[in-house]
Structure 1
């Protein structure tokens, strides 16, 4: 069985490291990007199953990255992470195809459950 691929996009190194550790230990292939350009290269080259995407990234913001991910592959699931109550952006992200969002500081167990649920749901869909 193929390992699921998870891409973590956040400009904060500490958050990327934390999420990489958590999801590597869950058995996922994890990739990380600190900016939009690298994130999109990884989306093209690795086709991740799910992207954890920070809303506020210098250079190219989360909404722009989300739009481009969906242009590359509409099947890639995206969960947004946000540090502020950016409700208008969250609504726009949902309209663009994000599944849900977590507000920082998020509960890592809730994040883990959400990712596992999304990726296992993916497996079930592929079996039928």
Structure 2
């Protein structure tokens, strides 16, 4: 079975490390980027199945990165991570094709479940395992 690829885009190293550990344990091939340029290079090179994208990234913001990801490959799924109070941006992100958002500080198990649910879609249910 092909390993699913996940890209984590966040300028906070602590969050990247936490999410890398969580999703490596889930068996995903996991990439990380601290900024938009690196994120888009990884999208072009490795074509991840799903991107966890922080809304507030210095330089190129999350909405801009989201637009560019969708220009490169529309089928890449994107889940936004937002700080409290960015609701106007969330609406725009959804319009641009983001699936959903998690507000920081998020519940890591909820995030993991959401990612697993998105990445399980289309793969055979016989691989599904109980909790």
Pairwise TM-score range, normalised by the shorter structure: over 0.9
The match for 2:127 is: none
The match for 1:6 is: 6
| Count of aligned pairs | 124
Q: Where does the alignment leave 5 or more consecutive residues of structure 1 unmatched?
A: none
Alignment pair present for 1:45 and 2:45: yes
1:30-69 to structure 2, matched below 5 A, reads 30-69=30-69
The match for 1:83 is: 83
Higher helix share: 1
**Residues 122 and 10 of structure 1, relative CA distance in 2, 3 Å threshold:** farther
Please give the TM-score of this superposition, normalised by the length of structure 2: 0.93
Alignment pair present for 1:23 and 2:7: no
The match for 2:109 is: 109
Q: Where does the alignment leave 5 or more consecutive residues of structure 2 unmatched?
A: 125-131
**Structure 1: how far apart are the matches of 2:77 and 2:117?**
12
**Structure 1: how far apart are the matches of 2:68 and 2:31?**
18
Structure 1 counterpart SS, 2:121:
helix
Structure 1 counterpart SS, 2:57:
coil
Please give the TM-score of this superposition, normalised by the length of structure 1: 0.95
Alignment pair present for 1:121 and 2:99: no
